[in-house]
Amino acid sequence: MTKTVFDLIVVGGGPGGYVAAIRGAQLGMSVALVERAELGGICLNWGCIPTKALLHSATVLRACREAAHYGVTGAGDARPDLAAMVARSRKVAGRLGQGVAHLMKKNGVTVFAASAKLAGSGKLALDTGATLSAKHIILATGARARELPALPVGERIWAYRQALAPAEIPKSLLVVGAGAIGAEFASFYRAIGSDVTLIDMTPEILPQEDAEISQLARKAFEKQGIRVLTQCAVTASSPTATGVKVTLEQQGKKTDIEVDRVIVAAGIVGNVENLGLEKTRVTVEKTHIVTDAQCRTGEPGVYAIGDVAGAPWLAHKASHEAVLCVEAIAGLPTHAIDPLRIPACTYSYPQVASIGMTEARAREHAKQTGGEIRVGKFTFAGNGKAIAMGEDQGLVKTVFDAKSGELLGAHIIHPEASELITGYGVAASLEATEEDLMHTVFAHPTLSETLHESVLSAFGRALHA
């Protein structure tokens, strides 16, 4: 007979949910995980991982085309095999999905393939007809792509699932939304040959990033041939014989463009429907569940983590929240997550990564508190490893509190930005000051030396600028 009473039940098997289940099991709890679709969630199956697999294929293609620059001949006529790229991407996702299933079995987590709904104190009703019970229930149901009325998803208008598994390369493509997801799809499709237009309603692409970094990203995208339109919205669309006609409105002026396909990447909404929240004290604001510093909702014994619990919508935030939440349940000492110490990465070409405050936000904060800031910058054109790699375009920017030396923010644009940002993440977590970072010895020749030089620059001591 299948067990139905547990210490902890987790609803949703994404990077928040499955990590919560593992940590609960490690702490000696009997744990159940309820997942209605695929273990690993959207991130592993239809988001972070398969997207990065496609983007790496684009990186290899780009390297082949530029091989002659590095003294390698015969690779310059490399062409994309879209079917093979997609197949590899799906294989990567499948392998990791099997890995999560193995981890559940290894840790003794009971997995239910079902949808779940709160059914009274400490109870969950599954759509299979079963009822599960636990003193603690964690909701980790994630989020989905925001739908736009003017762009109904279908054969020619894609959300992320369709964009990750196309049958052919569109000759022309409109990407609506220039946040991380939109920028990544724009980079991939441009690399494999699509004529790409990227639009956003805000004044800059990657609007959550530092303005200077966003402007550099825009220049890099445009240099690659991506058409970028900001302060631009879609007001209507209609099918044509071969694609889609889309009406754009930019600063009061409307224009029509025709493209083969459209990708909608205009944000996400939390999966809060059909969870039985209506008869509980759980509060939902703007499609996200409200929680406290220990991930508790207004309903005793019910918790929420990850994307369904709000920004920042990042897999690593969800996983960290999962551990925090479960350890709090177990009575262990915990520390609330500081959003300013969570790195964010965009895997476009070039990549963009950041942590903490933008320069503008830091200046505003200093103005309000009567403080001052110091800003350091260092370009990769002064870094030996970057020059040797042929990737010497980019910038590292650091923002410090002038009095205390606290690292307030760090911002990087470079093809390896996502790997570099963790250096500043560790520094922020350890509350390292500018003096600590200045005294750190960075290996040579490495790209990470740019992190050091940017810190030195903020205090007028840059050595290679």
Which residues are catalytic, by number? 444
445: burial class by Cβ within 10 Å (0-12, 13-18, 19+)? middle
Which residues does 391 contact at the CB level (< 8 Å), separation at least 6? 380, 414, 415, 416
Residue 174 · residue 248 · CB < 8 Å = no
Tokens of 32: 């159940």
The DSSP bridge partners found for residue 69 are none
Residue 126 is given by DSSP the state E
Q: Which two tokens stand for residue 128?
A: 């299979």
Farthest-apart Cα atoms in the chain, separation: 70
Q: Are 207 and 182 in contact (CB under 8 A)?
A: no
Residues 305 and 322 sit within 8 Å (Cβ to Cβ): yes
CA dihedral 184, 190, 194, 200 (to 10 degrees): 50
| Contact residues for 417 (Cβ-Cβ < 8 A; gap 6+) | 345, 350, 351, 352, 353, 394
Which residue's structure tokens are 């879209």? 82
What CA–CA distance (Å, rounded) separates 149 from 252?
20
Phi and psi at residue 368, in whole multiples of 5°?
Answer: -75, -30
Burial class (CB in 10 A: 0-12, 13-18, 19+), 231: middle
CB 294 within 8 A of CB 328: yes
The answer to whether the beta carbons of residues 275 and 141 sit under 8 Å apart is: yes
